[in-house]
Amino acid sequence: MRWRRDWHAYLFIGPSLLGVLAFLLLPMVIVFVLSFFHWELLSPPTFAGLDNYRRLAGDGESWHSLWITVVYVLLCIPLQTVLALVLALLLNQRIKGVRVFRSLFVVPWMATPIVMGLVWNWIFDPRDGAINSALAVIGVTGPDWLSDATWALPAVALVNVWQYTGYNMLFFLAGLQGIPQELYDAAATDGATPRQRFWRVTLPLLNPTMFFVMVTNLIGAFQVFDTVFVMTNGGPSKSTEVINFKIFGTAFREFDFGYASTLSMLLFAVILGVTLVQVRFFGKRTTYDMS
Amino acid sequence: MRSPRIRELRHAVTLLAAATLTLTACGSGGDGGDGGGTGGGKVTLTYRLWDDQQKVGYDKVMAAFEKANPNIDVKIELLPYDEYWTKLTADAVAGTAPDVFWMTPSQFPEYVTKGVLADMSPLKLDTTKFHPTVVGSFTYQDKLYGVPKDWGIVGLLYNKDLFKKAGVEMPASLTWKPDGSGTFLETARKLTVDEAGKHPEDPGFDPAKVKTYGFASWNHYQTQWMNWVNSNGGKLLDKPFGKYTFNDDASVQALRFGVDLVNKYHVSPPATQTNPPTGKVTDMFKAGEVAMFPANNALLPYVAPEANFEVGVALMPEGPAGRAVNLNGLSEAVYAKSQHPQEAMKLAAYLGTEEPQKLMAADGYIFPALNGLTQGYVDYWQKTKKLDVSPFVEESKGTTFPLPVTTGFTGFETKLNQIFNEMYLGKLDPKQAADQAVTEGNATVK
């Protein structure tokens, strides 16, 4: 019955559905299956049972990579989210040239990660780079950034914050503009201070936006790869060897596709867990429908 | 012991994976080198390479081959270097690799041990006609698995203007010893100047404010420390497809010398500026901040046209064990499962003959692997850039060594670079670094 009525719809989603199946769901299923196999790519896979998972349990390097990734996420997400929100609040005002600013802040998001990484490599150069030259002016000797095991990860995180803040700002801006002015007027009438208005009106009403931004950003941050690839190659001394970089190396440099699949499953499980926690956290809070 | 169900599953997975990889391959533009149509008795071969400059030369080469073999069409596929290897692996898994393609010494072990490359014995090539290091790089269990194509060799590029300004002559022969004696370090010191005009041995020299460095010593295995190791009598591998051995005394001495050039003698820029992947030694040389810079001749097209000073080429320094320079060969490999094995072998054999190799040399692309054809390349650089590249040729006639040919190198490379980055930073002693690297490396050998 429904098929008869809706077949046009299926026809229209057909091509993209095919794409999702072939390039997203199918590879995911394959990765899951492969995680139970030994496969060095050019020779046929052999069934490994739980070998790869046992190996993972005792593989300190991979857990270290996961830990590095968590630290990276913690460095990126809070900073990026707060900055994006502050920017959105500022750009939600009626000031001159606001459109130009809005566009400018989104530019980093459009930059190719590889090109961006190369440019930042110059900026982080310990001797001639912009950052250390600026620090030298105020009499501070900057660290060796990308050659320093303490600073390399924060440096990479900073680049990603720079890249995604403007993009997230767009979502917050859209969220802010969806909040009816009457609510602010009412709050002002009741004598609410600007601070109270932010915490009691703006933030609660931004809940759906916040949920979207947090979920997508956390997923993205856990999957960081390109900036690490260009800027540090996982070094110095594995201090930036995030889990996705480890997966890439295991698969395409060591040709160990079985174990790389197992590592992918680990990352998948972590992301799934973190996302479920967020769904519960945001689900418990009230969402106001303003439509 | 394996149950039928699991066997079935295994086949299913292989098929699925191959299918996905093929799909992905299609998605990225090529048609996966399907061996071509056979309509009208004509055979289409796929020839794959990664160098867009050399492709211009190969267009001519293939036209000549097609003229002599009217029943064969050759389709050239050009891929960027990184994508080249990913796609080649994927195609080999799917059984659709190109018929003939380029192979490097560091990737060779992976592909040859897994049966992707065809044995060249049927061609009955006279291997003595090719450079022995190139032949050695593509030999596995006494059989040749690729027609030697060309070689690139490390030589010492130098900035003639900086030499003139410092009033220094390039010695006829540069020599080095682990204790710091010899003409090489002496020359590098004379060319190293800080902002106050002082040299490293002068009192009050400030290593943090160097204007020009005499030399670039950095973490690059092909052009740097492997050459120090070999010219000091150290050994990288015990035998082809063997175990790494570069933690012996002579190797560690040589590694220490390379690091000392940076951190003790201060004639080279600090590792914070040169370590891969962010290092920019080539840019520093081009900017006139470094006087002597070991590089493979393949880098010349990227350096010579952009340098606003006169570039010179000199022989690499001689160590206690003489001069030993890395010579990196390429070969034309034939896919073991090619749909048209006879035609593919015919093409590979042709590419190893004088006509095409001479053409590639005369257009200044490469030094041919076939002996006696280097003059074309030398003439090209003399004529177009007034650059005397004959020292590269002289080096190739002396002691040369290949990159350590063994399995697992592609996986080891990242780890090796990370460990040696620490060594060049002075955070890890050369002995410790070498021990660590050798242990890691040997764990990847299969």
> Consecutive sets of 10 residues in chain A, 291 residues long: mean pLDDT of each?
79 89 91 93 86 93 95 95 93 83 86 84 88 90 88 94 92 91 89 89 90 93 91 88 94 89 96 94 74 52
Amino acid letter, A104: L
User: Would residue B223 count as lying in a domain?
Assistant: yes
End-to-end CA distance of chain B: 26
The residue range of the domain holding B336 is 28-152+329-383
Q: Which residue has the tokens 């592609």?
A: B410
Q: How far is residue B344 from each of residues A38, B69, B338, B341, measured CA to CA in Å?
A: 33, 12, 7, 5
Closest by Cβ to B411, choosing from A41, A44, A249: A249
CA distances from B171 to A18, B158, B182, B212, B314 (A): 68, 12, 11, 19, 9
pLDDT, mean of each 10-residue run, chain B (446 residues): 41 46 40 43 94 93 96 96 89 93 94 94 95 96 96 97 96 95 97 96 94 97 97 94 96 98 97 87 94 95 89 97 97 96 96 95 93 94 94 97 90 92 96 97 90
Measured between beta carbons, which residues in chain B are less than 8 angstroms from residue A126?
270, 272-273
Is residue B360 one of the residues assigned to a domain?
yes
Residues of chain B found within 8 Å of residue A68, distances taken between Cβ atoms: none
- B202 and B128 in one domain? no
Nearest CA in chain B to A43: B114
Give Cβ neighbours of residue B180 (< 8 Å, ≥ 6 apart): B257, B260, B265
Given A26, A41, A47, which is nearest B2 (Cβ)? A47
The secondary structure of residue A113, as a DSSP letter, is H
The radius of gyration computed from the CA coordinates of chain A, to the nearest angstrom, equals: 23
* pLDDT number for residue A284: 79
Is the minimum CB–CB distance between A199 and chain B shorter than 8 Å?
no
Q: Would you say A44 and B14 are in contact if contact means Cβ atoms under 8 Å apart?
A: yes
Total count of domains within chain B: 2
Domain contains B21: no
Which member of A43, A144, A230 has the closest CB to residue B277? A230
Tell whether B353 and B407 lie within a shared domain.
no
Report how far residue B386's alpha carbon sits from residue B409's, in angstroms, rounded to the nearest whole number.
38
Integer Cα distance of B272 and A125 in angstroms: 8
- Which SS3 state, helix, strand or coil, does residue B120 take? coil
Q: How far apart are CA B389 and CA B169, in angstroms?
A: 18
Please name the residues in contact with A24: beta carbons below 8 A apart, sequence gap of 6 or more.
Answer: none
Going along chain A from its start, the domains and CATH numbers come out as 53-284 (1.10.3720.10)
Looking at the fold, whether B247 and B137 belong to one and the same domain comes out as no
Residue of B2, B14, B114 lying closest to A45 (CB–CB): B14
User: pLDDT for B340-392, tens place per residue?
Assistant: 999 999 999 999 999 999 999 998 889 999 999 999 999 999 999 899 999 99
- d(Cα A244, Cα A249) in Å, to the nearest integer? 9
Q: Flag whether B22 is in a domain.
A: no
Shortest Cα distance, chain B CAs vs residue A282, angstroms: 37
Q: Is residue B19 part of a domain?
A: no
What H or E segment, with its residue span, contains residue A11?
helix A2-20
Measured at the alpha carbon of residue B421, what is the angle toward residues B419 and B426, in degrees to the nearest 5?
Answer: 100
Cross-chain residue pair A42–B115, CB shorter than 8 Å? yes
Examine residue B5 and state whether it is found in any structural domain, yes or no. no
CA-only gyration radius of chain B, Å: 24
Residues 6+ apart with CB under 8 A from A32: A261, A265
Q: Which of B359, B323, B331, B324 is nearest to B103 (CA)?
A: B331
Question: How far away is chain A from the Cα of B1, in angstroms, using its nearest Cα?
Answer: 12
- Which residues in chain A have Cβ-Cβ distances shorter than 8 Å to B92? 41-42
Closest C-alpha among B425, B415, B402, B400 to residue B445: B415
pLDDT of residue B177: 97
Closest CA to A159 of A271, A71, A247, A75: A75
Asked whether residue B425 is domain-assigned, the answer is yes
Considering CB atoms only, which of B6, B116, B413 is closest to A47?
B6
* Contact yes or no for B411 and A40 at CB 8 A: no
Is B256 within 8 Å of B426 (Cβ atoms)? no
A121 has a chain B CB within 8 A of its CB: yes
- Give the residue on B whose Cα is nearest the Cα of A238: B418
Inside any domain, residue B417: yes
Surface-to-core class of residue B368, CB atoms within 10 Å of its CB (0-12 exposed, 13-18 middle, 19+ buried):
buried
The C-alpha atoms of residue A157 and residue A143 are separated, in whole angstroms, by: 16
Continuous segment of H or E residues that includes residue B335: none
**Closest-CA distance of chain B to residue A182, Å:** 52
The reported pLDDT for the residue numbered B27 is 37
Residues B289 and B168 in one domain: yes
Residues B301 and B434 in one domain: yes
Same domain for B118 and B107, yes or no, is yes
Q: Half-sphere exposure (CA, 13 Å, Cβ side) for A73? A: 22
Contact B56, B69 (CB under 8 A): no
Pairing state between β B290-296 and B210-215:
parallel
Q: From CA B327, how far away is CA B156, in angstroms rounded?
A: 14
For residue B266, what pLDDT is reported? 97
B321 and B336 share a domain?
no
Say whether A33 and B116 touch across the interface (CB within 8 A): no
Question: Which residues in A105-250 belong to E strands, given as ranges?
Answer: none
Residue of chain A nearest B8, judged by CA positions = A47
CA–CA gap between residue A60 and residue A65 (Å, rounded) = 9
What tokens appear for B261 in the block? 């050039």
Pair B298, B400 in one domain: yes
Supply the pLDDT for residue A287. Answer: 67
List all residues 6 or more positions away from A16 whose beta carbon is below 8 Å from its beta carbon: none
B209 DSSP assignment: G
Residues B195 and B267 placed together within one structural domain of the fold: yes
| Per-residue pLDDT reduced to its tens digit, B171-228 | 999 999 999 999 999 999 999 999 999 999 999 999 999 999 999 999 999 999 999 9
Q: B338 and B322 share a domain?
A: no
Q: Do B167 and B143 share a domain, yes or no?
A: no
Could you tell me if B92 and B121 lie in one domain? Answer: yes
Chain B partners of A144 at a C-beta cutoff of 8 Å? 272
- Report the CATH number at residue B59: 3.40.190.10
- Are B53 and B103 in contact by the 8 Å Cβ rule? The answer is no
User: How crowded is residue A45: how many other Cβ atoms within 10 Å of its Cβ?
Assistant: 21
